[in-house]
Amino acid sequence: MTAQPFDAFAVGAALRARLGPAPSWAIVLGSGVGVLTEHLADARSWAYAELDLPQTGVSGHDGRLHLGRLGGVSTALLAGRVHTYEGHPADRIVGTVRAMKAWGVERILFTSAVGGLRADLPPGALVLISDHVNLMGRNPLFGPHDSRFGARFPDLADAYSPALRARLKAAAAATGVTLEEGVYMAMSGPSYETPAEVRMLGALGGTVVGMSLVPEVIAACQIGLELAAIAVVANPGAGLYDEPLRHEDVTRVVGEAAGSLARLIVRFLESQAAEAGGTA
């Protein structure tokens, strides 16, 4: 039986009716980044299934929406995402992003566990994404166009907001967190890249490689969400060191780096609240 199309606008309206006005920010938590929920004040939590949000089946993704205040800013933490390699249709892969906009969210921050494409990027390094290359072979906007989501041909030139990137770099400097900047290379997965693919991706100008993020970014740009993205290097790409790549190591390493990521994000949101006069 074919799954029913995901109705992001109905889900967004249901979120507004059940949870109240939309928060100022939504933050998508990649593999191992769930520790950020510990910094959320006045927190409430729901399973995705309770809210009719698309459910993930990947370990390290709890599949819960946490709502509260982070750095003094009303924030929804989305603990888990749906991946292309899970075999879901595009409307479910990007359904949560669209539902956030339909709820009333205007800004979204993505996090993602990635492989490093440079030998000088150690496990645990944080990389602010400035651009991407989509090598997944899929685009979430492929197929019949629904004008409610935005333009048929969205401009991705400044997909990763230059203004938000500048503020994140300022927050990193203020907290003493090292924040690299670079290009995300998107592969479909779920197998890890071969050494030859890692060499190719580096030669094409990539800094990190991952199996998510890009479909969500494309959908967010189309629907009008201002966005930024931070990747956490979980491991060097294949061929850059001799150990085998394992998903449990990804979640462990990212979990260890999540403290620095949390400090950075909390300071970033504190600066947002200060600019808004404490009303964010």
Predicted confidence (pLDDT) per residue in 77-134, tens digit: 999 899 999 888 999 999 999 999 999 999 999 999 899 999 889 888 999 999 999 9
- Domains of the chain listed by start with CATH number: 8-275 (3.40.50.1580)
CB-count exposure of residue 148 (10 Å: 0-12, 13-18, 19+)? exposed
Q: What pLDDT shows up at residue 241?
A: 60
Name the residue with higher pLDDT: 131 or 239. 131
* Long-range contacts of the stretch 151-160 (C-beta < 8 A, 24+): 151/222, 154/218, 154/221, 154/222, 155/221, 156/217, 156/218, 156/221, 159/131, 159/132, 159/217, 159/218, 159/221, 159/227, 160/129, 160/130, 160/131, 160/217, 160/227, 160/228, 160/229
Q: What pLDDT shows up at residue 201?
A: 97
pLDDT digits 0-9 by tens, 6-40: 999 999 999 999 999 999 999 999 877 777 888 89
Banded pLDDT at 1 (limits 50, 70, 90) = very low
pLDDT (average), residues 203-213: 96
Q: What pLDDT shows up at residue 35?
A: 79
Structure tokens at 89: 């249709």
pLDDT (average), residues 32-51: 90
Q: What pLDDT shows up at residue 67?
A: 98
pLDDT digits 0-9 by tens, 129-181: 999 999 999 999 999 999 999 999 999 999 999 999 999 999 999 999 999 99
Which residue numbers are catalytic? 31, 61, 83, 85-86, 113, 211-212, 235, 247
Is 25 in contact with 269 (CB distance < 8 Å)? yes
Q: What is the CA radius of gyration of the chain?
A: 18
Name the residue with higher pLDDT: 238 or 10. 10
Q: What pLDDT shows up at residue 167?
A: 97
